Amino acid sequence: MPAGEYEFVVVANRLPVDMTVEDDGSLSWERSPGGLVTALAPIMQKNGGAWVGWSGKAGLEHDPFDAEGIHVTPVTLSAQEIADYYEGFSNGTLWPLYHDVIVPPEFHRNWWNAYVAVNRRFAAAAAEAVAPGGTVWVHDYQLQLVPSVLRLLRPDVKIGFFNHIPFPPVEIFAQLPWRRQVVDGLLGADLVGFQRPGDASNFLRAVRRLTDLQVRGPQVTMPGHWSRPDRQVRAQAFPISIDSAAFDELARTPDVIARAKQIRKELGSPEILLLGVDRLDYTKGIRHRLKAFGELLEDGQLRVPEATLVQVASPSRERVEQYQLLRDEVEVTVGRINGDFGTLGRAAVHYMHHSYPATEMAALYLAADVMLVTSLRDGMNLVAKEYVAARSDLGGALVLSEFTGAADELGQALQINPHDIAGTKATIMRAITMDAREGRRRMRSMRRRVMQHDVQRWADDFLGYLAMSVPSERESV
Ligand code: F6P
């Protein structure tokens, strides 16, 4: 296959820009918010980088274009492929399977076939873009077959893969009818990165159980054939982070500080402001959080209007049935709590089903006394890190589920098992009544971790390890 011209190629389900086709057919784009783009953009601008991804729109065909120094290469998905590959196999099969089967995963052969076809298309686009001996970094569960397809097309390139979500224990992973193909797909990479050490060891256990390959420590040996020598695949944890300095700086701006004060005022100047910020996803434990908060009101441990909960639930995957069911349940529960405990003009729960820009989020974080992160399973949870980065005043308390990747790093958060409603209630009360000195000490320690381990360091670590791996074709030269 002819080589392309880009030394560094990122392959992700989403593009780093949000594309809009105007009425006159012209295209406009805006950089997507988010840490991944922020971390990778400078590397791409420096070395000549391309980004292969889907625009988020059905059937949108567009030639590659340059945006902020990145060569943007859109992959077209038809409406049927979105239904089968994205909503179906990625979010109806893999997402629940990789998140402790909180809802039952569905296994459909037509979804799998679409996943294979779309993964091949992403791999072909990457193979066309990458320069001889270049580096390709593939992201996330939607694209687990890309590494092995790409290796067949371009054995000369270094291939990294990073899984942003958990990797399940083999006992659960083994339910997948195509488990062996997924493992083989990932083993096409030189380096397979995970959020937590536990995810990496789950993957290595799956390799041991489902293949006869040799696994030693973090390395899997892929036997060579013909003149090609053996190849080593390394599986390791690289916990992702946020652009901590940018978030810290944003939360210190006078506008954000003023907005935080205004938010509290608009809410009726409650004594205790609790906050939840999530994509509306069943992995986030929003129902558990609402149950705990509702019971605290029922018990009289908290009262409206002294206490109020702001819940931002940004719309997500709205065509997938389990997300529709969750939305209904959450909204019925919010209505019930407000009906039972709200007073005229003062709601118990302020529920927002939309996304907000980063400035408003930073103001909400600054305004909140207690941040509630109650995920039932979460690869990392960057909201927890954003809250910590926003609190240079050392105020606020973080209640954090032990089932998040962030819990490994934020040992000074008040950790909970969200399934334990009594324990969660007690911990929320502990956060509310915590001595200010203890709160500052905990926040200082968490900030040290988040400020030092930012998304740039994460990308540098991963790419540093990847650079040390030697692709098989060059080994044999
Ligand atoms: O956490 C995994 C992830 O795919 C993120 O990368 C992404 O921001 C989020 O879920 C939302 O996903 P989607 O692309 O399905 O909207």
Mutate to test the pocket of ligand 1, among 99, 164, 317 (most ligand atoms within 8 A of CB): 164
Q: Is the per-residue pLDDT at 37 higher than 90?
A: no
Greater confidence (33 vs 117) lies with 117
Q: Is the per-residue pLDDT at 320 higher than 80?
A: yes
258: tokens are 């003023």
* Ligand 1 atom nearest to CA at 91: 15
Q: Is the per-residue pLDDT at 473 higher than 90?
A: no
Q: Which amino acid is located at 275 in the chain?
A: L
- Contacts by residues 435-444 (CB-CB < 8 Å, ≥ 24 positions apart): 439/394, 439/395, 439/396, 439/397, 440/394, 440/395, 441/412, 442/397, 442/398, 442/412, 442/413, 442/414, 443/388, 443/391, 443/394, 443/395, 443/396, 443/397, 443/398, 443/412, 444/394
Any idea which architecture 244-452 has in CATH? 3-Layer(aba) Sandwich (3.40)
pLDDT in the model for residue 84? 98
Q: Which of 138, 115, 112, 113 is nearest to 125 (CA)?
A: 138
pLDDT classification of 35: cutoffs 50, 70, 90: low
pLDDT classification of 200: cutoffs 50, 70, 90: very high
From residue 431, give the alpha-carbon distance in Å to each of 32, 227, 306, 368, 396: 34, 62, 16, 12, 9
According to DSSP, the β-strands at 231-237 and 219-222 are: antiparallel
Greater confidence (470 vs 173) lies with 173
Give the least confident one: 4-13, 31-40, 141-150, 241-250.
31-40
Q: How far apart are CA 48 and CA 45, in angstroms?
A: 6
Mutate to test the pocket of ligand 1, among 242, 316, 318, 355 (most ligand atoms within 8 A of CB): 316
Any idea which architecture 6-240+457-476 has in CATH? 3-Layer(aba) Sandwich (3.40)
pLDDT classification of 160: cutoffs 50, 70, 90: very high
3-state secondary structure of 298: helix
145: tokens are 């077959």
* Ligand 1 atom nearest to CA at 34: 8
Backbone φ and ψ of 92, nearest 5°:
-110, -20
Q: How far is the CA of 97 from the centre of ligand 1 (A)?
A: 15
Our CA angle for 153, 41, 363, nearest 5°, is 135
pLDDT in the model for residue 477? 34
- Residues of the chain by 3-state class (helix, strand, coil), percent to 5: 45, 25, 30
pLDDT classification of 33: cutoffs 50, 70, 90: confident
Q: What is the average per-residue pLDDT within 315-341?
A: 97
21: tokens are 């086709």
Ligand 1 environment, Cβ below 6 A: 13-14, 140, 164-165, 316-317, 379
pLDDT in the model for residue 45? 83
Question: Is residue 71 annotated as part of the catalytic site, yes or no?
Answer: no
Q: What is the average per-residue pLDDT within 365-389?
A: 97
Q: Which amino acid is located at 11 in the chain?
A: V
Q: How far is the CA of 56 from the centre of ligand 1 (A)?
A: 12
Q: How far is the CA of 308 from the centre of ligand 1 (A)?
A: 29
Q: Which of 89, 68, 81, 78 is nearest to 16 (CA)?
A: 68
pLDDT in the model for residue 31? 85
From residue 435, give the alpha-carbon distance in Å to each of 290, 413, 430, 442, 443: 25, 14, 9, 11, 12
Q: Which of 94, 120, 122, 123 is nearest to 108 (CA)?
A: 94
Q: What is the average per-residue pLDDT within 15-36?
A: 82
Q: What is the average per-residue pLDDT within 33-44?
A: 78
pLDDT in the model for residue 471? 58
pLDDT classification of 3: cutoffs 50, 70, 90: confident
Question: Is residue 164 annotated as part of the catalytic site, yes or no?
Answer: yes
pLDDT in the model for residue 82? 98
Nearest CA to ligand 1 atom 8: 34
Q: Which helix (H) or strand (E) holds 351?
A: strand 349-352
Say which residues have a Cβ less than 8 Å from residue 249's Cβ, sequence separation at least 6. none
* Ligand 1 atom nearest to CA at 142: 4
Give the least confident one: 22-36, 264-278, 416-430.
22-36
Q: How far apart are CA 388 and CA 399, in angstroms?
A: 11
Q: Which of 71, 99, 164, 350 is catalytic?
A: 164
| Per-residue pLDDT reduced to its tens digit, 443-472 | 999 999 999 999 999 999 999 999 998 754
User: Torsion angle, CA of 98/103/104/105, rounded to 10 degrees?
Assistant: -40
pLDDT classification of 476: cutoffs 50, 70, 90: very low
Mean pLDDT in the chain? 95
pLDDT in the model for residue 475? 45
Q: Which of 243, 378, 453, 454 is catalytic?
A: 378
Q: What does the buried/exposed string (b/e) look like for 76-89 if buried means 16 or more CB atoms within 10 Å of the residue's CB? A: ebeeebbbbbbbbb
Half-sphere exposure of residue 178, counting CA atoms within 13 Å on the CB side? 19
Nearest CA to ligand 1 atom 15: 317
DSSP codes joined into one string, 395-457? --EEEEETTBTHHHH-TTSEEE-TT-HHHHHHHHHHHHH--HHHHHHHHHHHHHHHHHS-HHH
Q: What percent of the chain has pLDDT over 70?
A: 98
Q: How far is the CA of 283 from the centre of ligand 1 (A)?
A: 12
Contact 86, 77 (CB under 8 A): yes
Give the least confident one: 44-53, 260-269, 435-444.
44-53
User: Torsion angle, CA of 41/380/295/396, rounded to 10 degrees?
Assistant: -60
Q: What is the average per-residue pLDDT within 300-305?
A: 97
pLDDT classification of 350: cutoffs 50, 70, 90: very high
Nearest CA to ligand 1 atom 5: 164
Q: How far is the CA of 241 from the centre of ligand 1 (A)?
A: 15
pLDDT classification of 23: cutoffs 50, 70, 90: confident
Nearest CA to ligand 1 atom 11: 316
Residues of the chain within CATH 3.40.50.2000 domain(s) are 6-240+457-476, 244-452
pLDDT classification of 26: cutoffs 50, 70, 90: confident
Q: How far is the CA of 6 from the centre of ligand 1 (A)?
A: 26
* Ligand 1 atom nearest to CA at 56: 14
Q: How far is the CA of 140 from the centre of ligand 1 (A)?
A: 9
